[in-house]
Amino acid sequence: MVPTTSTAATACTTPYSATQVYTGGTSASYNGHNWNAKWWTQGEAPSTGGSGVWADQGACGGGSSPTPSTSTGTSTGPSSTPRACELSIWVAGTQYATGTVVKYVPNGKFYVATHDNPGYDPTVSTWYWSPTTCGTDTPSPSPTSSSTTPNPGGFVVSEAQFNQMFPNRNSFYTYSGLVAALKAYPAFANTGSDTVKKQEAAAFLANINHETGGLVYVVEQNTANYPHYCDTTQPYGCPAGQAAYYGRGPIQLSWNFNYKAAGDALGIDLLHNPNLVQTDASVAWQTGIWYWMTQNGPGTMTAHNAMVNGAGFGETIRSINGSLECNGGNPAQVQSRINAYTSFASILGVPTGSNLSC
């Protein structure tokens, strides 16, 4: 059955598009209603639920609004342009049946499965996937996403999303290690609204993505730097050896005084056992979160405070690398971090917020 609309209804405005960015005050029509966006949004279909970003302006008819239908209209081939689709965000390792339509977040495009497959990359496996378009519908949550399956430890990033962010990560950087590390700082990615929580998680993961080449490197690659990280003016010296305090883990923790401070805060003797940061995934993640939550670095605030208090992603960069990158120090490096943050925020379905650069 295709419901009819009253000829007296207000004309429908431009149909909603899952790939379009809407800012406060912009409008779209969806399921026979006109809607106004209250703030920035993308990929969240108009409804009275969700984050509350959409305000219902009442029923509409005529114009260019799509008419609701009980049919899913799923695409069955590369040349098909369905009026509406039931689709999901593509997740590696998820079984997809022929005819399934997915959105591939890295490039924002839609693909239809032309053969059953166990989650092959749509941009690589052209035998199993073909490009398609998907009308005006928005992706429904993946069955492995946090909306249907509670994430371990309540973390706002699901394992599937984590794997999507870091497809080439070193096996050392386990998702379970990250979740275990959350216990050390319960406020991490767990302060403020759901949007702020996800923004902080995206910001943290974007910065460590930059520090480790996409979670590929566990230790600093320039071994010539290793002897430089021993501050002999500290009363406790460098008991593990002058060259033992090089960069390790997701934040690339370095210097004897940072190993001492992180170990004291976490209840782990990292001054005498710095290798724990490269052999124990949970310890490695804890040092990254420790720095994020407690250290201003060369900035004026912690990265955590920058995200939860609205200072913006740019201030997290300043807290990590200061003038080495900010204030024109290395704009290419800053942009690399911003690009990762924008991508990760999109995967988590939240806006980036303002003040992205430093």
Can you tell me the distance from the alpha carbon of 216 to that of 173, in angstroms, rounded to the nearest whole number? 8
Q: What is the dihedral of CA 79, 81, 82, 87, to 10 degrees?
A: 80
Look at strands 129-132 and 109-113 and give their pairing. Answer: antiparallel
Which residues of the chain form beta strands (DSSP E)?
A: 10-11, 27-30, 33-37, 54-61, 87-89, 101-104, 109-113, 129-132
Residue whose pair of structure tokens reads 């052999």 in the numeric block: 279
DSSP conformational letter for 96:
B
Residue whose pair of structure tokens reads 């929580």 in the numeric block: 197
Q: What is the dihedral of CA 298, 300, 306, 312, to 10 degrees?
A: -80
Can you tell me the distance from the alpha carbon of 162 to that of 250, in angstroms, rounded to the nearest whole number? 14
Closest of 297, 320, 313 to residue 358, by C-alpha: 313
Can you tell me the distance from the alpha carbon of 24 to that of 184, in angstroms, rounded to the nearest whole number? 38
Positions marked active-site: 211
